Amino acid sequence: MVLEVTLIDVLPGRGDDFVAAYQLARPLISGAPGCRSVRLKRGVESATRFALFVEWDSVEAHEQNFRRTERFAQWKATIGGALAQPPLAEFFTETPATTRTDSDFFTS
């Protein structure tokens, strides 16, 4: 499983428009084969910043079943009017947990 994290900046005053467009477009992602979950969060410090979290079976599932399909074109057309700039997306995987505390950066 991979987690796609997308930072989305919308035009000032268009946050609610973006949320409404997202609600219409969400099934385009959530219905793609290989999509496990979709969540949208709104920034606390900046109401014009959103973070989209999509869990995929693999990067290939995202590419083959969403990005290279008509679903993606429809997604862009639905939400694009509210965007301030192109979104920034990256994929992440789980890291192994450690039980060592002597080298934990955050406890030093």
* Residue 102 falls inside a structural domain: no
- Mean pLDDT of all residues in 6-35: 97
Is residue 94 a part of any domain in this protein? Answer: no
Instruction: Report whether 10 contacts 83 (CB < 8 A).
Output: yes
* Residue at 2 is within a domain: no
Q: Say what the pTM is.
A: 0.87
What is the average per-residue pLDDT within 8-22?
97
Domain count, the chain: 1
Side by side, the strands of the sheet bearing 2-9 are 35-42, 49-56, 2-9, 88-92
Pairing of the two strands 35-42 and 49-56: antiparallel
pLDDT at 17 over 60: yes
